[in-house]
Amino acid sequence: MKTATDTKTPDTDWLKTYYYLRFAVSAIWVALAFTIAKAMPPLAAVMLVAYPAWDALANYLDASRSGGLARNKSQMLNFLVSVGTAVAVLATLSHGMHAVLQIFGVWAVLSGLFQLLTGVRRWKSYGAQWAMILSGAQSGLAGAHMLSKAAGLAPVSIADIAPYAAFGAFYFLISAVSLIISDARRRSKAVPA
């Protein structure tokens, strides 16, 4: 016979905190990319490596709250792709921004797919994952756009990646708010009339 302490309930408080943290970091990154980093190539270089590295760390932290990377395959793959992207960007910076933008484009497609899969998997336990699913799909489109810009001759910079990060920030914020609304609805239904 199961008791209330035996059943594991989803940790929506963690997920809300996680989404707000992802929103804040992305929003700061975008603000710096559109302002200071455009005029400071060394800062832009650090930020270009730090963004996928942060994504890897965030996926690791989130997965560790729900059984680890081994139990969360889509986050494990996202973690690995993000680590690989940070290393590839570091190795490619000296080849110019077109090469870096290519790497970001591939990363956006892959990480978007894995984010979409994570959102679908979480829907059953947490609900309110539509924004993460939509964000994953849009990440793929943003990646394709970055790849097309990287193949062109027009100058590119960190500002060409910032809109991708801005949409990510927006979707993380929407996801946190959606969970708050979903939790409030769930609690109101649980209150006896």
Which residue do the tokens 């998997």 mark? 121
Q: Single out the residue of 185, 183, 174, 165 nearest to residue 19, CA to CA.
A: 174
Q: Single out the residue of 86, 148, 124, 105 nearest to residue 9, CA to CA.
A: 124
Local confidence pLDDT in tens for the 193 residues of the chain: 333 333 344 577 888 999 899 999 999 999 999 999 989 999 999 999 999 999 999 999 989 988 889 998 999 999 999 999 999 999 999 999 999 999 999 999 999 999 888 888 877 766 667 778 888 889 999 999 999 999 999 999 999 999 999 999 998 899 889 888 887 887 788 766 5
Q: Single out the residue of 59, 53, 57, 88 nearest to residue 73, CA to CA.
A: 59
Cα angle 49, 114, 56; round to 5: 30
Output b/e per residue, 61-91; b: 16+ Cβ within 10 A.
ebbeebeebeebebbbbbbebbbbbbebbbe
Whether the Cβ atoms of residue 51 and residue 28 lie closer than 8 Å to each other: no
Residue 9, pLDDT score? 47
Residue 67 Ramachandran class (φ > 0 left, ψ -120 to 50 alpha, else beta): left
